[in-house]
Amino acid sequence: MPEATPETTPAFEFDQGIALTAHPDEPGRYDGELGDGWQIGGGVNGGLLLAFAAHALAREAGAAHPHPLTVSGTYISASRPGPATVRTEIVRRGRSLATGSAVLSQDGRERLRVTASFTDLAALDGEVATTALPPQLPAPEQCVGVEHAPRELLAEAALLERLDLRLDPATIGWAVGRPSKQGRIQGWFRLADKRPADALSLLLAADALPPVTFDLGRPGWAPTIELTVHVRALPADGWLRVSHATRNVAGGYFEEDCEVWDENGRLVAQSRQLAMAPR
């Protein structure tokens, strides 16, 4: 992945969004810029923030452990576009895993605290035994693109311009005032500039669809409290199938479970987040 230096600018928007420069005088510190193109609701998208911090930790973990295996973030306050700093600590480097923590801050205020483990996904045992099945979706051209989203949603979600989302028509009745009340939203995902998917971009994919509470008839911004992503395999290039679901809204909070499948039918990421229900 190219470095963010005055001489070299990453070719893809996602890589620009998570670009970091190592601080010359403080080991483990990385500085970057959160762009305004990744906003949703009142702040920068939680998946982008998780990838930003995980990128710093991957740099510290080193070439033997290049990929996130599990990344868990607690969101302390909303991040805004502008300069951001990630301070990292690797607490253990083993043969197969490196484990560490990171704090993302802006203007001296902590925004996100992360714990994560990194590995070499390409070197993992290839055995797969699963009862999970990918979501059944119409072809991408038969799904509903971002350009058809309600104006009020687009106005609050600059993030959507960075993504090529094609949502399953069966799960977007909420867009015309007829939510299914099943608590599920699913569809096809890829980055708008056709950047190939990788382990870091899966962290964004896990938090890229509209909040599943939309399908419960509760539209609005749903701030993430905690998000954990398990990266299970390196994704094949092409479309990703993403499915979000919830089974419990209580006390003003809801869980959102996500699965991400690649074009080869491989379950490449799973996540769960706790978020605040829209008011």
- What's the pLDDT tens digit per position in 241-251? 999 999 999 99
For residues 114 and 53, the answer to whether their CB atoms sit within 8 Å is yes
Largest CA distance in the chain: 56
The H-or-E segment that residue 227 falls in is strand 224-231
Q: How far apart are CA 72 and CA 88, in angstroms?
A: 14
Q: How far apart are CA 262 and CA 203, in angstroms?
A: 14
- What's the pLDDT tens digit per position in 166-194? 999 999 999 888 999 999 999 999 999 99
- What's the pLDDT tens digit per position in 4-30? 443 467 889 999 999 999 999 999 999
- Region 158-173: what's the mean pLDDT? 92
Q: How far apart are CA 32 and CA 109, in angstroms?
A: 15
- What's the pLDDT tens digit per position in 101-153? 999 999 999 999 999 999 999 999 888 999 999 999 999 999 999 777 666 66
- Region 153-176: what's the mean pLDDT? 87
Structure tokens at 168: 């399953």
- Region 152-172: what's the mean pLDDT? 86
* pLDDT of the residue at 44: 94
Q: How far apart are CA 186 and CA 263, in angstroms?
A: 15
The H-or-E segment that residue 47 falls in is helix 46-61
